[in-house]
Amino acid sequence: MVILNFTPDSFSDGGDLNPGDGELLSRMVNFHKEGASIFDFGGQSSAPGAKDVSAEEEKSRIIPGIRALHDYRVRQNKRWNDVVISVDTFHASVAEAAVQAGADIINDISAGQLDSKMLPTIARLGKTVCLMHMRGTPQNMNSLADYPEGVIPTIAKELLERVVAAEEAGIRRWRIILDPGIGFAKTGAHNLEILRRFDELRDWPGLRGLPWLVGSSRKNFIGRIAREEDPKKRVMGTAATVAAAVQGGADIVRVHDVKEMAQVAKMSDAIWRPYNLEGVSL
């Protein structure tokens, strides 16, 4: 999954993309050549302390790109059958507009908690949802990273509650993806524990069999450990977290550096998931 942030204030790539970018489509085509198959469009930064933007502003940032990619996918016919469009939003109205423009997945960092209309809207639209573990909002989540019963059991318990809420809203279980929420209401130590014990989280009763997304790309805990202040220079640190996520059983890795992380994912698959080597001559 490639991160496409159309925001001026995202922690790593703010201002890199904009709706009027005349080369946007060619950049997305290149991401596909490098190994991206899911394109995640975001118009609202979820970095700690980020300011809210209106739903209308969010839509104006992402809908043109979603529509352009969808139309290109249609024109490519079967050659782009593996391309999936995702929208990173916690607003139901933005999710609906994105689906109308061609989105397939709603990637909600709040798992439906910041907009009561989100889960019923996704159910009505018949689309897939990614439920991420987070507490509070981007403005206050860093003050809520307290897990007296343990980070893995608590994430499992709180995600299971969101799965139940999604199913009660009418979302089919086979349309649910989970995300442990690395960096969201988590300390650096929590993030490392999630990666270290990810297989345990995936195997939690009630969560078994669901697909998982992991998004660790360029995050601050990598910078602190690698002693690299510039998020764009955290490629190698990110690579280690992607390998750990694949080893732990991640089905999707959400990244900025597509070419590099596609290689990491392929090699990690070859080491820990050799059944994916069909057709490769060794």
Q: What is the strand order of the sheet 105-108 is part of?
A: 2-5, 38-42, 84-88, 105-108, 128-132, 176-179
pLDDT digits (tens, 9 = 90+) for 145-169: 999 999 999 999 999 999 999 999 9
Locate 101 and state its tokens.
Answer: 């423009």
**Residue with the larger pLDDT of the pair 276 and 230:** 230
Q: How far apart are CA 256 and CA 51, in angstroms?
A: 22
Q: Which of 254, 259, 266, 273 is labelled catalytic?
A: 254
What mean pLDDT do residues 198-214 have?
A: 97
Q: Model-level pTM?
A: 0.93
CATH number assigned to the domain covering 2-277: 3.20.20.20
* Residue ranges covered by each domain of the chain: 2-277
Catalytic pick from 219, 224, 232, 266? Answer: 219
* CA distances in angstroms from 266 to 79, 112, 254, 258, listed in the order given: 21, 32, 14, 12
Catalytic annotation present for 259:
no
Task: Examine the residue annotation and report whether 218 is marked as an active-site residue of this protein.
Answer: no
Question: What is the pLDDT of the chain when averaged over all its residues?
Answer: 92
User: Is residue 11 pLDDT above 80, yes or no?
Assistant: no
Question: To the nearest whole percent, how much of the chain has pLDDT over 70?
Answer: 93
Phi, psi of 271 (to 5 degrees): -80, -50
